[in-house]
C-alpha cells in the first residue's frame, strides 16, 4: 500500500547511518553514496523509504555478491530505470542494480548506477532542483498524495502517472542546471 508521510527530519540522519554501512560493505567499489528521492528533499512529504544511490565505476557482479552476502535483497527483475522522453534509449545508459533492505530492517531502496550515465545524473539533479524550488517540491508532494489517495493499492498506476510528471520536471531541472552551472561535483558540495 502506498502512503505518503509528512517530511521526517530524521531521514537525513537515517541515511547517514545506512551510508556508513554501505560504505563498509562496498568499500572501494563505491565512488559515491548519495541520499536521493523525496526523503532527501527537506520539507517534502514522501513514502517512508530511504532511497540511496551508489555510484560505481563499473557494474560488476562483485557488487551483487557483497550486498547479498550482507543480507540485502537483490531484485534482478528491476535492472533499468524509467526512460524520460527525449533521452537516448540505449538500455546500457539506464542499467542499474537494485536492492532492498535486509529482512526485518528499515525500508530502503539502493540503486547502484554507473558513473557518468544519465540515470546516475538524473536523481541528483532532480533532488537539487527540488531543493532549490520549494513550489515545485510542494507540487510534487500534492501529486504524490493524490496518486496515493486514488491508487494506494496499484503500484503500476502510481508509477505510470508519476514518471511522466517527473519527466516534465526533468526538462525544467536540465534547463536550471545549465543556467546555474550545476554539475555532479557541485551537487556534492550542497550536502
22, part of any domain = yes
Q: What was the pLDDT predicted at 186?
A: 66
* Domain span including residue 78: 11-189
Residue ranges in the chain modelled with pLDDT below 70: 186, 188-191
Q: pLDDT value at position 40?
A: 98
d(CA 69, CA 66): 5
| CA dist., res. 185 & res. 103, Å (int) | 34
- DSSP, collapsed to helix, strand or coil, labels residue 107 as coil
Q: Give the C-alpha separation, 165 to 185, whole Å.
A: 27
Query: Phi, psi (5° rounding) for residue 113?
Result: -135, 150
Which residues 6+ apart lie within 8 Å of 37 measured at CB? 46, 49, 50, 51, 109, 123, 127
Q: Sign of dihedral through CA atoms 49, 96, 23, 122? A: negative
Q: What is the pLDDT of residue 147?
A: 95
What CATH number does residue 109 fall under?
Answer: 3.30.460.10
Residue partners of 177: CB distance under 8 A and separation at least 6? 125, 129, 183
Count of structural domains, the chain: 1
Amino acid at each position: 500500500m502506498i502512503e505518503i508521510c509528512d517530511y521526517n527530519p530524521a531521514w537525513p540522519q537515517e541515511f547517514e547511518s545506512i551510508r556508513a554501512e554501505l560504505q563498509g560493505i562496498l568499500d572501494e567499489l563505491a565512488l559515491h553514496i548519495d541520499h536521493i528521492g523525496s526523503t532527501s528533499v527537506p520539507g517534502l512529504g514522501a513514502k517512508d523509504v530511504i532511497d540511496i544511490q551508489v555510484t560505481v565505476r563499473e557494474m560488476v557482479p562483485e557488487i551483487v555478491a557483497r550486498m547479498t552476502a550482507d543480507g540485502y535483497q537483490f531484485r534482478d527483475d528491476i535492472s533499468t530505470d524509467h526512460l524520460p522522453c527525449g533521452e537516448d534509449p540505449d538500455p546500457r545508459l539506464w542499467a542499474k542494480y537494485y536492492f532492498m533492505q535486509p529482512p526485518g530492517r528499515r525500508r530502503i531502496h539502493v540503486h547502484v548506477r554507473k558513473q557518468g550515465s544519465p540515470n546516475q545524473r538524473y536523481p541528483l539533479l532532480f533532488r537539487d532542483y527540488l531543493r532549490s524550488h520549494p513550489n515545485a517540491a510542494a507540487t510534487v508532494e500534492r501529486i504524490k498524495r493524490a496518486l496515493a489517495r486514488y491508487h494506494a493499492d496499484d503500484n503500476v498506476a502510481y508509477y505510470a502517472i508519476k514518471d511522466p510528471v517527473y519527466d516534465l520536471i526533468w526538462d525544467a531541472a536540465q534547463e536550471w542546471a545549465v543556467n546555474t552551472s550545476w554539475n555532479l561535483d557541485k551537487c556534492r558540495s550542497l550536502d
